[in-house]
Amino acid sequence: MNVWTGQARSQAADDDYLDGNALAGPLSEVFSIDITAALGTCSGCGAEGAIAEARLYVSAPAKILRCPSCGAVLLRLDEREGRLILDLSGFRNVTIHLD
C-alpha cells in the first residue's frame, strides 16, 4: 500500500529511479536530522508520505525527487562549484517529527 495515495503500489518496468532514501547522504550536509523520515505534502496533487518513499532520479545534472502519486517534482538538489542548491518548491509543506 502506498502511503502517498492509499492505493496498491504499481511500478512500470522502465522506471529508472531510486527511492528517496538515496538522498540521506547528500541532504545530511544541509540538515542535522534524517530528512528522509519527514513527511511531505505534494503541491501538485496533495498526496502525503515519507520523503524516503518518493522517487529519486539521478541521471539529470541535479538530483530530482518526484511524487510517486502524480510525478510532480518535489525537490531539486544541485551540487556545483562548491555549493548545494536546494529547491523544495514542489512541497506544500514538510513535517519533521522531533521525537
Report pLDDT digits (tens) over 19-69: 888 888 877 766 777 888 899 999 999 999 999 999 999 988 899 999 999
CA distance 99 to 53: 20
Query: Max alpha carbon distance in the chain (Å)?
Result: 42
Residue 8 pLDDT class (50, 70, 90 cuts): low
Report pLDDT digits (tens) over 69-87: 999 999 999 988 999 899 9
CA distance 95 to 1: 21
CA distance 87 to 74: 8
pTM: 0.70
CA distance 66 to 87: 12
